[in-house]
Structure 1
């Protein structure tokens, strides 16, 4: 059960009062016999609501100056809040003091709200107490909502009530008739994770392409509700992402590190924990955004995919989470004889460009027959621009961002004709299912005819036979890309 208490209100035979609310005349007999109903108008499915009777209410034979609020009857008797010794002791630690207590002949106390004290003050104090402490001191009744909508807690004795829910928000203090309807002001905690690229061509994307060495900006947005005793955000970067130093920022900008929250980094894990003093100050739902930058590393290539998960723990409520996932896709090319695809051709050489004519020639890091795209080659990185088919006729390309590319053959195998024009292939994402996207691996046979004929100069890959994985009839390179999937516990 959540320690974050939701609602505080008063309920009596006709009305119980909060300081500053007008008096109402009621019938003493009704007050003594009555039982009430508390209805939460917009209860959340699966959440448990508990009504605590903070003080009972009863009719006394005499009026007491200390009693305010109270209910005056036609015969001048007064309905007052009544506290036990244990309840009086429970509130003794409140700062500021919340109530005046006046001893009665039967060993109990008449209760009055101190001048200037609000319902929020009372609820804030109760929020700070453990569930077990509340259960020991106050009579209570709990109901769990099977469906979203109106939920009633029935047959509760008249009194001054504090209603909590494991959803974790304080509600307002209300004057009430025996049937009280209150509104759950809490919003469920949600979390949303987005990815942005440094050139801002994709902003707040659910998925994105990336290349090794690219810096991505990750954005986590969640809501903190009043009444929570703790709130922690834990983001775990999978192998293949490296945090950029000093890149973590938190908004709103009014929040102060070490005063309102703390940030810790342990390997691939980033933890943001909000301070109890900050949580106690909240009186309304507050949106918080955490951003940081991370570099895609070589480890993403070897691992094949990288999952980046955020988990939010709001007090004792269930966790909520979201993740983005980085897949490493690749394009597999095989050079074959046009008349016999079983005959593979070694030694063919190619270049890859960004346009059908001219454009930028791409660079790669070679590892056997695999070529990893390098966005910005530097001196000494042994990058190459020529891709060569191996002894089995194959060569593989990894790490290309989404887009269209053109393959140009620069050297044909001995005895075969050179392709006379660049052939287009497309890097695409299979993102029809945003919550569970997949990558399209593309495989293509590049056919060469023997001397005396040339390949066609139009169309994609000429007479090449294309084979794709993922359902798209395209030739080209699969890609390292980022996707998102939401999960809520």
Structure 2
């Protein structure tokens, strides 16, 4: 795999503040540490020294890590400057050009003094390019003697292969830099900051990038797939590793360039002087956006901090975050609920300043937004879901990222056709139950609407009794002889460790390809149409993501007519008995009448 093409969530964000040190460069682009730094006590530049600019590119976590502006001096030229635990950045691309002022322009900041107005390129110098080495170092040796004196513009440039601002991390993976560092001017030689009678011929600068590890991960019930009996509740989880710059407590004077004023919406310099210290600096915004599928009913949204120990800490709506549904703000303690089907639900979670402060207490903190949903009880098919985050850190460009490797929800169904024996006509009124195994079907343990199975008693009740609101999943053939089961759970992965849950990190538990997702069910006919026999054995049906298509019938059930059994003779015997009793009665009455007549 070409690692230069492999993007991941970790991004470098640049901030236009520099720290300066100094050393002697050798060669056009040198990666060797200087043995000493060329600082001359003569205020007049010589015509023998090499002129060079050395960059040390490293990452910081937030604006608070900027430190003071540098002075071009390297405290210990025999080694890399003290990084205080910070990481240097490899393979960051830079270019350097020589410039000259137009008229009386004073060149101090290329963000303020623009090309064509304040300065133009000095064509006597050929542009130089290079990239930082494994130590985050890049030296530009611009020449020897007075002809090399002047002002140089240094700027970060795009990588020629990826056409983007990039660096290489400690794992050898190419990462994207969201915003390159601001360009800057360097005088060669440079006047020593604390002793203006001295000149520095080898100037070190320390450009910084704020590196944010905003890894986005969307899961469903903790995995990358899920399936239950449709109509039951489940949840999606949007988990984001938070950037470190959402909140910073500034204790030193500094100026943040390219800061978006939240009041007037204008980009400007934010000057933090001693009168403002300590200063709480917040990101302009941090938002999580999700578009809930039209087939889902949204029941609630909850927001948590997932700390470095894996513990969830619930945040409070309207205090630490705000949430809108379809652009309408949901106020606590109202549930974020929309039980309609047929339209997407746009949900936005926005951290407040109080929330930003709370989530940046510890490093490696994640924000988890939980969307509690359900589907219609007869839903069939696949639902995929992704989400995005966007935020604006102080002095940065707006950043947006979208989750990848998104999870999916699966349900399936199938059709039954009930026909007469000759298959020439259909039968109405046949009733079917469904079981998750043949053993369950034989034991009359049938699937219910909550996804569990319950044993059916002789009187039609269940053992144990069905929970309140739960019913058996049944189907009855209609006038067209058709019955159907919908919204059935499917199998989508191999549970290699037997814990009942998918763990994508466990080998073999990856989500199956769509054509493998399926599950076997057994159909039992519990009531036959009038005049017809029941089928005697459970009928197996394999349900897939495609079997719910009404154009196909997965199970045809043929009913045989009841047979005409011979007469038992029972009706003729009864008639003889009745005639005999009548004859005896008549005879008795006749004898009594005759006896009375004789007596008379």
What TM-score do the two structures reach when normalised by structure 2?
0.42
Higher relative contact order (CA 8 A, sep 6+): 1
What TM-score do the two structures reach when normalised by structure 1?
0.50
